[in-house]
Structure 1
Amino acid sequence: MFKKIFVFILCLNGFFIFGQTFYRNLSSENWTFNKQNEAKKHKATIPGTVHTDLFQNQLIPDPFFGANEKKLQWIENENWEYETYFTLSESELKNQNIDLEFEGLDTYATIFLNGKVVLEADNMFRKWTISAKSHLKIGTNHLKVVFQSAVQKGKEEAKKISYTLPEKERVFVRKAQCQFGWDWGPRFVTAGIWKKVQLKFWNSAKIESIKYSQIELNDKKAILEFTTEIYVAEVKTIQLKINKKSETFNLKKGKNKIKMQYEIANPKLWWCNGLGDANLYPFTIEIQQKNQLLDAKKLNIGLRTIELIQEKDQAGKSFYFKLNGKSVFMKGANMVPPDSFLPRVSDSTYFSLVENAKKANMNMLRVWGGGVYFEDAFYEACDANGILVWQDFMFACSMYPGDEKFVQNVKQEVIDNVNRLQNHPSIAIWCGNNENDEGWHNWGWQKQFKYTKADSTQIWNDYKKVFHEMIPKTLDSLLPKEKNIYWSSSPSIGWGRKESLLQGDSHYWGVWWGKEPFEIYEKKVGRFMSEYGFQGMPNLETLQKVIRKEDLNFTSEAFKNHQKHPTGYETINEYMERDFVVPKDFEDYAYVSQLLQARGMKTAIEAHRRAKPYCMGTLYWQFNDCWPVTSWSSLDYYGNWKAVHYQAKRSFENLLFSIEEGNDSYRICIVNDDLKQYSGELVIDLIDFSGTKLWNKKIIFIASENSSKIHFEIPKKDFLAYNLKQAVLSVSFPPLEQIYTRHYFFKPKDLQITKPNIQIKIINEETIEISSDVLAKDVFLSSENDTFFEDNYFDLLSNEKRIIKLSKPVQNIKVKSLFDTMK
């Protein structure tokens, strides 16, 4: 990691040198692991988890395959030991200070250094550092980490209180809550050294942290104030150098906080995706003594202002973000951890996920509170691609203890992660938890767990202690005002209450959980829709990687294990029967389930955008998966786009032509999220499936900057003479026709489609042209070599020619349309 960030780093045999500060990566030493009280040791990989180490040593089968998950639950109840031996030279030991740093321990860990306990850890989300020099020796050193079962520790903690908290042991354990199982993820309660472990050698001084605030920001100049926390071993005079500017400071022994301002002329602002460039300014911060480099760090800074506007209005209270003084409609999704076994997630995985968000015209991702604080690479990718981040703290769907030990543990977790993340311009808001408040008020826990009045009072007071007092006060102590937007719980009010659509953010689950039709999305629109969703199966190729061919059916245990919602397939089937002819073939069924999911999310997203400025955000559930599974995701575990991701790309375009059905008319709404005006001639055609134009209208429109407006209504009586089961309403903006053409189908289940003759013409190795003699509905392109198609799951009108870019050359392209499933 350091090699990538610091251009002046020298790397020698695992050492990373920063002036007088250098690091030795202990992760690359020869590690072993064993189940406690078993003599036989096995090779371990650091960073890693016990599950992946067991699998790599062929001691367990692939945890993701078939129904293996159920066979592997014993692992979570055992204690595990990891150890290594490393050699320390005399010159290394001569350094004044040597720190042992664990960037992540999962979760209850006792660390022995040369036989002596030097650290007890109890939080997966914290960084653990100890002064180690007095415990080290020249020659061979022994480092051992003993992990206690997080499940057993959680159960022990649960017994210490007189009442039962929802979700039992998991709420007492500061680790990824989804590892205890969720309705889209498996139960793998991991243990291990899940991030890097290293020795830090330093002598006279080291940089502990760097923060900056914007003192002034306008067109002419930006004035930044850097606060650098420096630890020195003795009284010292140093030079703090920020890029080319340098100042001298006298430091006392121990910790020092020094401030220094830096001015940028004619600053370029950082903008989110779709509104401008994500401009970043590189900074190198160095501490020197007599021109000798002592330590250094680097930052990339984006200059921007962000505000959360909550103002009372006739309906209730607004909830929207202003970026650089401009109101921004937030478009995006909720993210879960990209793997059940987190050390397998590479920087490139995070980069790819963020790029896929950008390609789908998103400008915000929510890091959901039941997972983990993501690695630096994710936030760096968001910075570079203009993706704002709604950052939850790691609490979800329960109530949590409030004893002093727990609260102080969480406080340090907040400090560690806010200090690590706060300099990223992508961070928009800090949120206390996911659905804890809603759960307490709406999910019937008091009755379910038979709480006394005293129990309820204690539980709620503990909740307020963490989310209304400790976290916001800690943020106040860490963040300048312009970075300190805090929201205690998402959603602010539960989806079953009328007030949830009038203020704050909303999680609307009437669709899926409530079995309401997709059309209810057009009526249930809140001020900021931060969760809603519908499931769709992944492609057959994804399922085949973890399920045997003979088990690809709805009755097999392997297949059922890759659907974690108790009534998931029942719910998908019920909705499919409403909107589609249900296919008999399994592969066709998977394909149509994706079309169903895309139809639901299109209905929701476009309803939210049409309601602008009443509604100013739409983040669907969910963006990605932690394993191959049928879920609410738009990207499957391997990063493949499902139909809903392609639909999101269309529905999130800055300029959107959206058609909705009213009681007496069809309304054409033009939504413009851009910071510029669009105007021109809009062409509206009613076309039958063979390409004949039945009805035509042209209108002149003006779409003002950042606006949403109904521009045209077509009375339903105008179409009485036509068979709408064989027709499509097409809306296009000719100057940008390839991008801005939208189709509206009347009652999709009843469409009378005929077999299309789809032709594919090779333009070059990475470009094709596709056409059809009659309407080809929901065209799906695929290949054997995992080629990515720039557009997919699209409607192809009669004699329309569509150009599609490919990510790489392909020999054989398979094509499917909705007609193929109606056998």
Structure 2
Amino acid sequence: MNKTILFTFFLIHNFLSAQFSERSLSSEKWQFKNSKETQWLSAKVPGTVHQDLMDNKLIPDPFKDENEKKVQWVENENWDYQAHFKISSHELKNQNIDLVFEGLDTFSEIYLNGKLLQKTDNMFRKWSIPVKNYLKPGDNILKISFRSAVEEGKKLAQKVPFTIPESPRSFIRKAQYQFGWDWGPRLVTAGIWKEVKLDFWNDAKIKSIKDLQNVSGEPKGNFSFEVDIEVQTPGNYALKINNSQKTFSLGKGENKIRFPYQIDGLKIWQPNGWGDANLYDFKINLLKGGKEIHAKRLRTGFRTIELVQEKDEKGKSFYFKVNNQPLYIKGTNWIPADSFSPRITKEKYQKLIKDCKEANINMIRVWGGGIYEDDEFYKACDENGILVWQDFMFAGSFYPSDEDFLNNVKEEVKDQVTRLQNHPSIALWCGNNEVDEAIVNWGYQKQFKYSKEDSLQVWKDYRKVFHELIPNTLKEKLASDKNMYWPSSPSIGWGHKESLTEGDSHYWGVWWGEQPFEVYNEKVGRFMSEYGFQGMPSLETTKTMFSGTPQLNLNNGTIKAHEKHARGWEIINTYMERDYPVPADFIKYNYISQLLQARGMQIAIEAHRRAKPYNMGTLYWQLNDCWPVVSWSSIDYSGNWKALHYQVKRSFEQQVILAEEKDNKLNLFAVNDLIQDLNDISVTIEVTTFKGEIINRIHSGNRNLKDIISFDPIEIEKILGRFSRNEVFLNVVLNDKSNKEVAQNTYFLVKPKDLKLTKPAVHIKKISSSEIEISTDVLTKNIYLMGDTHFSDNFFDLLPKKPRRIKLSKPLDKIEVMSLWDVINP
């Protein structure tokens, strides 16, 4: 036989015997154009039209200068995308060929060889279309025509007899943040934002896999898989999961198979801080006649989780029980990591989640105005022991409930729950962000002059979507819905008494209400799922706002344009004047704005942790940014830790010693978030001058620490001696029974601006290319290490004659140092 013919025979045989194969179309040569024009330009898939326009030099980078204003026209246009691809006659011999779009943004018409196959209207849905009958040997043309989401939304809004706030975004199943937020630009995208592929299959294929593990009680090694199989050719099939195999008779159409499975010596998945996030790998094979015809892989972990809400004398509890133990939640809120989500790399996802783990975070809330995140996000959370509070993508508005909208949302929920439900990190599904709050608290009904009937309709719409459709669809798709759904975050609006005695709370009296940071000590709810304060990004990230030479000036148009809150600068200045000197110098202002943000969040977090077990969770707003911006984030767009993230790491330690001043008395609280108790712990308070002289030492102990204990109040004036409050600080140390330091904290008796600091002599000693030792002769408050590297700690208080080792992510020839003294004494 001719070698070429023999090779072709084996190629055909192997292709068909594999029965199932995928072929990516994303790597084909894609083109795009404005629908009004004729010239096709190069495009990338996955991607967005803004990215393609930038690549073709047709619009400036909207992240730079004040360019956001210059690209607003893009959202009003219609855009066409197309690709030519070849299909062989051998590929056409497959029984079934499906064209699969993982994500289309948003209103589109899909054409194959001129034939309209499908219209789409949801960015969050997966679209799978049988196309065998529309393909031909040789050249094929795939075209997707996108219509302006803004214009389509306006048409939908006209069908409602009253004005819905935030129109037209409320009518569009699309990432809501793209329409602009108080931390993000208005960049309403279009395009093929996820993978495009062809699926070739014969006889049968695996549609989905669900692991049916227990969700409450103790994690167990005996469970089942539910495998959904679509069958073209009825008959006997075998299902093999790792080394276990069973045979089934399957009929034409959809078949659900229950497959019992046993794991001996199960190692459970533990959240960050409690142990290892143990994961197991499974290969699920579908066989016919002893040959594999389809296979999928699943990686999951085994844990139980329950949301506990029980009435008590103060209201109702709200806490998560993980692996049958109450877990104090320490976490943050997540927004999309880029305004153009297709360009978020796997590396960026991994880094942000590892930064969370390093900061002792054990939960992330995926905020409802963004996107259902990429698989890599959830994979990283699984691997790092980070639980996920998953909002559905609705935020801060009213939403319709007509039949088309409800059907669209139902398919969206089914797609996303099927994709995400096997991740051990998923802790809770939440209906929306602040929709209940918007209806109750924001005054839209009065603003838009709603009739009584209009207002009733809003509530009917709300209940249909968030109290009926979504939870009912979850029950259909999830193995168990035990306490897995929460209709709205927050559950009770800000300002209502019950918002602090039950459910979850968004507290915005600080920032929006301009109340002082100290009010956080009073406004403590059962679970604080949002609160925050703005700070500037790092200097390095601030410079990226400019296309040319950075003009670092608070009055510069570019700097102003990268603060999206209408009163942002005014509010920051108001708070800064209360607590810090307000520098004229830009670099010092940047530094103080970060300290201000960190100080506010430290007060909040420590108030929440002191209230344990009344309070059992704290999620600050927010972890990350979608562009270079002044915002509530603790990590800026470039990935640099702001002062806040360093403070979060300290405030979220597993064991902390916290101080609160009340009625001129100092109250101390030792908090332990580990499962294991600490026995014979003691607390030492050193009243220390800024020059390092210890003028008083108080010892309290010995106690056993399970969750939280408080110590006898100490009268502050009695421990100061001849010194004033602004001349000393308290060094508070928690020790175990062997006198080993468990936790340490510094506490100051006046605001930072009132401290009588002494000029420090800071010395940096190089230990190695990746480590330094830093020391000082007097208290150096809020040391700021500057350089193009990541420091393992920064913005910290350095105590006299107590050197600290700091690791560097990469070597530096020179490290600049700033401290609060440099600002108070310019």
Q: TM-score, normalised by structure 1?
A: 0.96
For 2:15 and 2:350, how far apart are their aligned partners in 1? 24
Contact 1:610–1:709 (CA under 8 A) maintained in structure 2: no
Residue 213 of structure 1 and its aligned partner are, at CA, apart by: 1.0
Larger displacement relative to structure 2 (123-132 or 220-229): 220-229
Partner of 2:250: 251
Residue 425 of structure 1 and its aligned partner are, at CA, apart by: 0.6
Give per-residue Cα distances to partners, 1:500-557, cap 9 Å, x unaligned: 0010000000000000000000000000000000000011111111135564323232
For 1:806 and 1:699, how far apart are their aligned partners in 2? 37
Q: Quick one: structure 1 residues 412 and 141, their matched pair in 2 at CA, closer, same or farther if it must change by over 3 Å?
A: same
For 1:71 and 1:572, how far apart are their aligned partners in 2? 28
Q: Quick one: structure 1 residues 566 and 762, their matched pair in 2 at CA, closer, same or farther if it must change by over 3 Å?
A: same
Contact 1:334–1:621 (CA under 8 A) maintained in structure 2: yes
Whether 1:696 and 2:700 are equivalent positions in the alignment is no
Residue 709 of structure 1 and its aligned partner are, at CA, apart by: 1.9
Contact 1:219–1:266 (CA under 8 A) maintained in structure 2: no
Partner amino acid for 1:675?
Answer: I
Partner amino acid for 1:778?
Answer: N
For 1:220 and 1:597, how far apart are their aligned partners in 2? 40
Partner of 2:7: none
Partner amino acid for 2:659?
Answer: I
Contact 1:677–1:702 (CA under 8 A) maintained in structure 2: no
Whether 1:555 and 2:558 are equivalent positions in the alignment is no
Contact 2:219–2:303 (CA under 8 A) maintained in structure 1: no
Partner amino acid for 1:816?
Answer: M
For 2:26 and 2:351, how far apart are their aligned partners in 1? 25
Contact 2:239–2:247 (CA under 8 A) maintained in structure 1: yes
For 2:412 and 2:97, how far apart are their aligned partners in 1? 23
Contact 1:97–1:131 (CA under 8 A) maintained in structure 2: yes
Partner of 1:8: none
Partner of 2:743: 740
Q: Secondary structure, in 3 states, of the residue corresponding to 2:533?
A: coil
Q: Quick one: structure 1 residues 216 and 161, their matched pair in 2 at CA, closer, same or farther if it must change by over 3 Å?
A: closer
For 2:637 and 2:628, how far apart are their aligned partners in 1? 5
Contact 2:210–2:422 (CA under 8 A) maintained in structure 1: yes
Q: Secondary structure, in 3 states, of the residue corresponding to 1:73?
A: helix
Residue 18 of structure 1 and its aligned partner are, at CA, apart by: 10
- Which consecutive segments of 4 or more residues in structure 1 shift more than 6 A? 15-18, 216-220, 735-739
Q: Secondary structure, in 3 states, of the residue corresponding to 1:819?
A: helix
Give per-residue Cα distances to partners, 1:349-374, cap 9 Å, x unaligned: 11111101100000000000000000
The structure 2 residue matched to 1:792, chosen from 791, 794, 816, is 794
Partner of 2:291: 292
User: Which aligned pairs between 1:51-450 and structure 2 lie closer than 5 A?
Assistant: 51-214=50-213, 222-450=221-449
Partner of 1:564: 564
Partner amino acid for 2:561?
Answer: N
Q: Quick one: structure 1 residues 479 and 550, their matched pair in 2 at CA, closer, same or farther if it must change by over 3 Å?
A: closer
For 2:689 and 2:612, how far apart are their aligned partners in 1? 33
For 1:501 and 1:219, how far apart are their aligned partners in 2? 31
Give per-residue Cα distances to partners, 1:40-97, cap 9 Å, x unaligned: 1111010000001000111111110011000110000000000010111111111111
For 1:83 and 1:326, how far apart are their aligned partners in 2? 54
Residue 587 of structure 1 and its aligned partner are, at CA, apart by: 0.8
Partner amino acid for 2:764?
Answer: I
Residue 655 of structure 1 and its aligned partner are, at CA, apart by: 0.2
Partner amino acid for 1:593?
Answer: S
Partner amino acid for 2:349?
Answer: Y
Partner of 1:584: 584
Partner amino acid for 1:810?
Answer: L
For 1:531 and 1:634, how far apart are their aligned partners in 2? 14
For 2:279 and 2:106, how far apart are their aligned partners in 1? 36
Q: Quick one: structure 1 residues 324 and 219, their matched pair in 2 at CA, closer, same or farther if it must change by over 3 Å?
A: closer
Whether 1:764 and 2:765 are equivalent positions in the alignment is no
User: Which aligned pairs between 1:472-621 and structure 2 lie closer than 5 A?
Assistant: 472-481=471-480, 485-547=484-546, 548-549=548-549, 551-621=551-621
Partner amino acid for 1:800?
Answer: K
Q: Secondary structure, in 3 states, of the residue corresponding to 1:741?
A: strand
For 1:522 and 1:484, how far apart are their aligned partners in 2? 30
Contact 1:215–1:225 (CA under 8 A) maintained in structure 2: no
Partner of 2:687: 686
Give per-residue Cα distances to partners, 1:73-131, cap 9 Å, x unaligned: 00000000000101111111111111000000000011110011011111000011100
Partner amino acid for 2:640?
Answer: N
Residue 173 of structure 1 and its aligned partner are, at CA, apart by: 0.5
Partner of 1:723: 724
Partner amino acid for 1:667?
Answer: N
For 1:593 and 1:370, how far apart are their aligned partners in 2? 26
Q: Quick one: structure 1 residues 236 and 215, their matched pair in 2 at CA, closer, same or farther if it must change by over 3 Å?
A: farther
Q: Quick one: structure 1 residues 475 and 683, their matched pair in 2 at CA, closer, same or farther if it must change by over 3 Å?
A: same
Contact 2:436–2:491 (CA under 8 A) maintained in structure 1: yes
For 1:272 and 1:89, how far apart are their aligned partners in 2? 49
Partner amino acid for 1:301?
Answer: T
For 1:652 and 1:628, how far apart are their aligned partners in 2? 26
Q: Quick one: structure 1 residues 805 and 734, their matched pair in 2 at CA, closer, same or farther if it must change by over 3 Å?
A: farther
Contact 1:216–1:224 (CA under 8 A) maintained in structure 2: no
Residue 482 of structure 1 and its aligned partner are, at CA, apart by: 5.8
Residue 711 of structure 1 and its aligned partner are, at CA, apart by: 2.1
For 2:762 and 2:127, how far apart are their aligned partners in 1? 60
Q: Quick one: structure 1 residues 219 and 190, their matched pair in 2 at CA, closer, same or farther if it must change by over 3 Å?
A: closer
Q: Secondary structure, in 3 states, of the residue corresponding to 2:223?
A: strand
Q: TM-score, normalised by structure 2?
A: 0.96
Q: Secondary structure, in 3 states, of the residue corresponding to 1:72?
A: helix
Partner amino acid for 2:639?
Answer: G
For 1:539 and 1:284, how far apart are their aligned partners in 2? 45
Q: Quick one: structure 1 residues 703 and 636, their matched pair in 2 at CA, closer, same or farther if it must change by over 3 Å?
A: farther
For 1:431 and 1:720, how far apart are their aligned partners in 2? 50
For 1:562 and 1:282, how far apart are their aligned partners in 2? 44
User: Which aligned pairs between 1:617-696 and structure 2 lie closer than 5 A?
Assistant: 617-678=617-678, 679-696=680-697
Q: Quick one: structure 1 residues 703 and 407, their matched pair in 2 at CA, closer, same or farther if it must change by over 3 Å?
A: farther
Partner amino acid for 1:448?
Answer: Q
Q: Quick one: structure 1 residues 682 and 586, their matched pair in 2 at CA, closer, same or farther if it must change by over 3 Å?
A: same
Contact 2:117–2:129 (CA under 8 A) maintained in structure 1: yes
Partner of 1:9: none
Q: Secondary structure, in 3 states, of the residue corresponding to 2:80?
A: strand
For 1:18 and 1:302, how far apart are their aligned partners in 2? 33
5+ residue gaps, structure 2, are 1-10
Residue 677 of structure 1 and its aligned partner are, at CA, apart by: 1.5
Q: Secondary structure, in 3 states, of the residue corresponding to 1:397?
A: coil
Q: Secondary structure, in 3 states, of the residue corresponding to 2:540?
A: helix
Q: Secondary structure, in 3 states, of the residue corresponding to 1:481?
A: coil
Contact 1:215–1:222 (CA under 8 A) maintained in structure 2: no
Partner amino acid for 2:700?
Answer: I
Using the aligned pairs only, state the percent identity.
Answer: 55
Instruction: State the superposition RMSD in angstroms.
Output: 1.7
Contact 1:654–1:672 (CA under 8 A) maintained in structure 2: yes
Q: Secondary structure, in 3 states, of the residue corresponding to 1:300?
A: strand
Q: Quick one: structure 1 residues 16 and 753, their matched pair in 2 at CA, closer, same or farther if it must change by over 3 Å?
A: farther
Partner of 1:714: 714
Partner of 2:819: 817
Partner of 1:781: 785
Residue 484 of structure 1 and its aligned partner are, at CA, apart by: 5.6
Q: Secondary structure, in 3 states, of the residue corresponding to 2:649?
A: helix
For 1:219 and 1:326, how far apart are their aligned partners in 2? 9
Residue 750 of structure 1 and its aligned partner are, at CA, apart by: 0.6
For 1:609 and 1:75, how far apart are their aligned partners in 2? 47
For 2:17 and 2:660, how far apart are their aligned partners in 1? 60
Partner amino acid for 1:808?
Answer: K
Q: Quick one: structure 1 residues 216 and 538, their matched pair in 2 at CA, closer, same or farther if it must change by over 3 Å?
A: closer
Q: Secondary structure, in 3 states, of the residue corresponding to 2:312?
A: coil
Partner amino acid for 2:606?
Answer: E
Q: Secondary structure, in 3 states, of the residue corresponding to 1:466?
A: helix
Partner of 1:5: none
For 1:199 and 1:654, how far apart are their aligned partners in 2? 49
Contact 1:672–1:703 (CA under 8 A) maintained in structure 2: no
Larger displacement relative to structure 2 (289-298 or 135-144): 289-298
